């Protein structure tokens, strides 16, 4: 159906206004980050572009250390979540077992519970087990939260996998485990990738779990590091903006390259719950 010229113009105008609404604060950050560092002058367009803030934020904020922590936590969470989600998603989609409904319900609860529901006792439990102030305290709860989503995602994916192919593999004498990894997983890689991206984003951006679980500076993840950096340099907005860009950059770059996966993953993942 053809749109009239007038309709097109109005549509573009609305889209441009709201794209600008979304972008202006973010462009403001970029402009602040390349402005000379100062705490008093306030926002204005810079006369020259200054990249020194990034270097200074990186050095003074220990961001090399924080990013390292974030990378360690994120990669571990992705690997464990993927393996366990694929296994459990397969079982729920394709195998029959006693109590599957109850188990599924328990995992569903994990998807709906907000972090506030469990974080307080979880902290005290992990403290008595001497696990707080370690990467494990960041990784294990994050896996538990990510699994809730991952299992639903993989189950939906595997339920739509053609049953005849699986039957054929079984008739050829393949075990369930072999059928899963050699027959079902390879064609499902795109949807597994989408899950990995979303888990990476949620883990990288997570704030509450690191805030509660670690006190040592060298264990802080990037967002937690930024929060502490903000506490120390409360009004040095140029440095803060530079630090913010450093932290947001990895996920934003991934997003620009794979935006369709991010958007469809987030919207489908949520609406299919």
Partner 1 sequence: MTVTTRLRSGETRTTGAAPSRTRRRRIASLKAFLYVAPALAFSLIFLIVPTLQTAWYSLYDWNGLSVATWAGVQNYIDIVQDEQLRDSFLHVGVLVVFYSFLPIAIALLLTMVISRAHALRGMSFFRTVLFLPQVIASVVIATTWLSIYSPNGLLNTLLRAIGLDSLTHVWLGDFNTALVSVGFVGTWLNVGLCLVLFLSGVGNVQPELFEAARLDGASGLQEFFGITLPALRGQITVALTLTVVSSLKTFDLVYITTRGGPGNSTSVPAFEAYNRAFNSGQVGSAASVAVVLTIGILLITALIGRLQPKDTE
Site for partner 1 in 141-180 (CB under 8 A): 141, 143-145, 147-148, 151, 176
User: How many Cβ atoms sit within 10 Å of the Cβ of residue 31?
Assistant: 16
Distance from C-alpha of 203 to C-alpha of 206, rounded to nearest angstrom = 5
Among 22, 128, 130, 171, binds partner 1 (CB under 8 A): 22
Among 6, 21, 49, 101, interactor with partner 1 by CB under 8 A: 21
Minimum CB separation of residue 161 from partner 1 in Å reads 15
Nearest distance, CB of residue 186 and partner 1, angstroms: 18
Residue 72 sits at the vertex; the CA angle it makes with 178 and 76, to the nearest 5 degrees, is 20
Site size toward partner 1, by CB under 8 A: 100
Q: How far is the CB of 65 from partner 1 (least distance, A)?
A: 17
Q: Which is nearer to partner 1, 138 or 191 (CB)?
A: 138
Q: Is 175 or 218 the residue whose CB approaches partner 1 more closely? A: 175
Positive or negative: CA dihedral 191, 194, 200, 202: negative
- H runs (alpha helix) in the chain: 5-33, 52-60, 63-94, 100-112, 115-128, 135-159, 163-171, 176-178, 189-205, 208-213, 222-232, 237-257, 259-271
Q: How far is the CB of 52 from partner 1 (least distance, A)?
A: 18
Q: Out of 32, 37, 74, 194, name the contact with partner 1 by CB under 8 A.
A: 32
Shortest reach from residue 23's CB to partner 1, in Å: 6
Residues within window 81-140 making contact with partner 1, judged by CB under 8 A: 84-85, 87-88, 90-92, 95-100, 103, 106-107, 109-110, 112-125, 140
- Alpha carbons 209 and 77: distance in angstroms, whole number: 13
- Residues 49 to 78: which contact partner 1 by CB under 8 A? none
CB of 218 to partner 1, least distance (A): 19
- 137, 247, 253, 153: which is closest to 199 by C-alpha? 153
Residues 211-270 that bind partner 1 (CB under 8 A): 211-212, 222-224, 226-227, 230, 235, 237, 240-241, 243-245, 247-248, 251-252, 255-256, 259-260, 262-263, 266-267, 270
Q: Report yes or no: 169 and 233 within 8 Å, Cβ to Cβ.
A: no
In terms of residues, how long is the chain?
273
Q: Cα–Cα distance between 8 and 13 in angstroms, integer?
A: 8
């Amino acid at each position: 159906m053809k749109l009239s010229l007038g309709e097109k113009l109005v549509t573009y105008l609305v889209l441009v206004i709201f794209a600008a609404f979304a972008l202006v604060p973010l462009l403001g950050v970029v402009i602040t980050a390349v402005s000379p560092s100062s705490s008093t002058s306030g926002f204005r367009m810079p006369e020259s572009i200054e990249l020194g803030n990034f270097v200074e934020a990186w050095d003074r904020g220990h961001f090399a250390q924080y990013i390292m922590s974030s990378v360690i936590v994120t990669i571990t969470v992705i690997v464990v979540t993927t393996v366990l989600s694929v296994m459990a998603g397969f079982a729920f989609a394709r195998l029959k077992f006693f109590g599957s409904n109850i188990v599924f319900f328990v995992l569903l609860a994990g998807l709906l519970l907000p972090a506030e529901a469990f974080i307080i006792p979880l902290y005290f439990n992990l403290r008595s087990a001497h696990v707080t102030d370690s990467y494990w305290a960041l990784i294990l709860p994050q896996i538990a939260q990510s699994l809730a989503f991952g299992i639903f995602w993989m189950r939906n994916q595997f339920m739509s996998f053609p049953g005849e192919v699986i039957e054929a593999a079984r008739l050829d004498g393949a075990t369930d485990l072999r059928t899963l990894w050699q027959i079902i997983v390879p064609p499902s890689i795109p949807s597994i990738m989408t899950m990995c991206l979303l888990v990476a984003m949620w883990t990288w951006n997570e704030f509450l779990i690191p805030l509660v679980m670690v006190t040592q500076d060298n264990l802080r993840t990037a967002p937690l590091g930024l929060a502490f950096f903000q506490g120390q340099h409360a009004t040095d907005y140029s440095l803060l903006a530079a630090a913010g860009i450093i932290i947001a950059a990895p996920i934003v770059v991934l997003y620009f390259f794979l935006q369709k996966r991010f958007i469809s993953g987030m919207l489908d993942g949520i609406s299919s719950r």
